[in-house]
């Protein structure tokens, strides 16, 4: 496969995953705002969890408009969907007609949405339509193309973006001191009051919000029917091997995607990133759940991020920036 095609498919997967994640997180936050008056502090956390820095504090309505509609903001839903459509156009020969039609429909749906609609009751529908549109694209992809090297590059991009989003979401909600203090802290410290902002996270609300941000609430309750204790929430989102948006499941999917790519590309190209994914998989698989709630969550997320970067770098070196002589 041409390096340009592999790189574009990786970006296509990442861009659509980013759009869906942003839509889901904003929709969840909008719902939780009905039950809390935390205000700008919560929206600052949301923007941070989306890697979406804005130059000045925003009201909830302006934050929603920026994340949903701002074409100049690279992390906005509109920018992500637009970039995904352009990526699909560049590799049109690898995208089925049904896939391209669905992505076009999503793109024009996004363009029709007006930023002025934010906070007038229709914005929730907008984010729901984006979520459904991306999921429909994923289902169409599974059903209409061969599950070959191109398909697994698309999947790999989706899962790499998902892992990045998951670790950032957990870090922002549960590791606040660890983000500015290299000594880190345990969950008790991390969820303490923020005196400067006058903001004290509610442990139950934090657990419910995290679950809903990754569409995990019902699945979590099926495994933990007694409630949403943060210890159980962290264990589920980090180490559950059956939920598709947990860290462990996503890491396993990354390893599987690279393994399938290696069957076609060979070890010379895929060996490096596949070995990096194997190290990441082993690190997550053999993590003791108890370590995560005894001061080890921040360190765990740091290590997952570092090993994930090795996978990303290895994939780039192996499939995008490789020397021509290596395949002759």
Instruction: Answer for the pair 262, 274: CB distance below 8 angstroms, yes or no.
Output: yes
> What distance in Å separates the CA atoms of residue 110 and residue 94, rounded to the nearest whole number?
24
What local confidence, expressed as pLDDT, does residue 228 receive? 67
> Could you state, in chain order, the average pLDDT of each consecutive group of 10 residues for the chain (328 residues)?
90 98 91 60 82 72 85 92 98 97 96 62 78 97 96 98 96 66 39 39 73 93 82 93 97 97 80 93 93 84 96 91 54
pLDDT of residue 197: 42
Side-chain-facing half-sphere of 219: CA atoms under 13 Å? 17
Same domain, 204 and 134: no
Are residues 174 and 55 located together in one domain of the fold? no
Final residue belonging to a domain, choices 121, 145, 169: 145
Same domain, 38 and 182: no
Q: In whole angstroms, how far apart are CA 160 and each of 68, 136, 245, 261, 262?
A: 22, 20, 12, 15, 17
Q: What pLDDT was estimated at residue 185?
A: 41
41 and 183 fall within a common domain? no
- Cβ burial of 286 (10 Å; 0-12, 13-18, 19+) is exposed
Residue in the structure block whose two tokens are 């860290």: 247
Angle CA 52–56–59, to nearest 5: 85
Q: Are residues 121 and 159 in the same domain?
A: no
Gap between the Cα atoms of 266 and 126, Å rounded: 43
The last residue of one of the domains, among 115, 145, 175, is 145
Contacts of 256 (CB under 8 A, 6+ apart): none
- Nearest CA to 20 among 92, 68, 58? 68
Burial group, residue 78, by CB count within 10 angstroms (0-12, 13-18, 19+): buried
Same structural domain, 46 and 163: no
Query: Helix or strand or coil: residue 215?
Result: coil
pLDDT score of 96: 97
300 is in which domain, residue-wise?
A: 148-328
* 40 plus 137 within the same structural domain: yes
What is the pLDDT at residue 77?
Answer: 95
Specify whether 118 is located in the same domain as 158.
no
**115 and 154 inside one domain:** no
Distance of alpha carbon 94 from alpha carbon 97, whole angstroms? 10
Do residue 33 and residue 170 come from a single domain?
no
Long-range contacts of 242-248 (CB under 8 A, 24+ apart): 243/216, 243/219, 245/162, 245/166, 245/214, 245/215, 245/216, 246/166, 246/216, 247/163, 247/166, 247/167, 247/284, 247/304, 248/284, 248/285
> From CA 121, how far away is CA 69, in angstroms rounded?
15
> Looking at the 3D structure of the chain, how many domains does it have?
2
Same domain, 113 and 165: no
- 76 in the same domain as 53: yes
Domain endpoint, select from 110, 145, 180: 145
Rounded Cα gap, residues 36 and 117, in angstroms: 23
């Amino acid at each position: 496969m041409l390096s340009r095609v592999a790189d574009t498919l990786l970006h296509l997967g990442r861009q659509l995953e980013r759009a869906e994640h942003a839509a889901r997180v904003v929709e969840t936050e909008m719902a939780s705002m009905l039950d809390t008056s935390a205000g700008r502090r919560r929206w600052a956390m949301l923007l941070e969890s989306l890697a979406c820095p804005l130059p000045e504090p925003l009201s909830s309505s302006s934050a929603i408009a920026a994340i949903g509609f701002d074409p100049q903001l690279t992390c906005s839903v509109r920018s992500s969907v637009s970039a995904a459509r352009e990526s699909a156009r560049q590799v049109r020969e690898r995208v089925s007609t049904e896939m391209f039609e669905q992505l076009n429909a999503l793109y024009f749906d996004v363009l029709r949405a007006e930023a002025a609609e934010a906070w007038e009751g229709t914005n929730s529908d907008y984010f729901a339509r984006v979520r459904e549109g991306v999921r429909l694209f994923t289902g169409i992809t599974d059903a209409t193309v061969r599950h070959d090297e191109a398909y697994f590059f698309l999947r790999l991009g989706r899962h790499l973006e998902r892992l990045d989003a998951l670790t950032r979401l957990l870090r922002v909600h549960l590791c606040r001191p660890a983000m500015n203090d290299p000594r880190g802290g345990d969950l008790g410290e991390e969820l303490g009051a923020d005196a400067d902002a006058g903001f004290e996270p509610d442990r139950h609300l934090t657990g419910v919000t995290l679950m809903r941000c990754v569409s995990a609430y019902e699945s979590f309750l099926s495994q933990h029917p007694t409630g949403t204790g943060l210890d159980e929430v962290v264990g589920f989102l980090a180490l559950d091997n059956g939920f598709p948006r947990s860290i462990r499941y996503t890491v396993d999917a990354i390893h599987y995607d690279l393994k399938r790519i290696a069957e076609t590309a060979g070890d010379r190209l895929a060996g490096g990133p596949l070995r990096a994914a194997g190290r990441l998989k082993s690190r997550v698989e053999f993590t003791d759940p108890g370590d995560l709630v005894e001061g080890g969550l921040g360190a765990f997320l740091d290590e997952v991020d570092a090993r994930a970067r090795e996978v990303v770098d290895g994939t780039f070196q192996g499939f995008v920036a490789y020397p021509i002589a290596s395949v002759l």
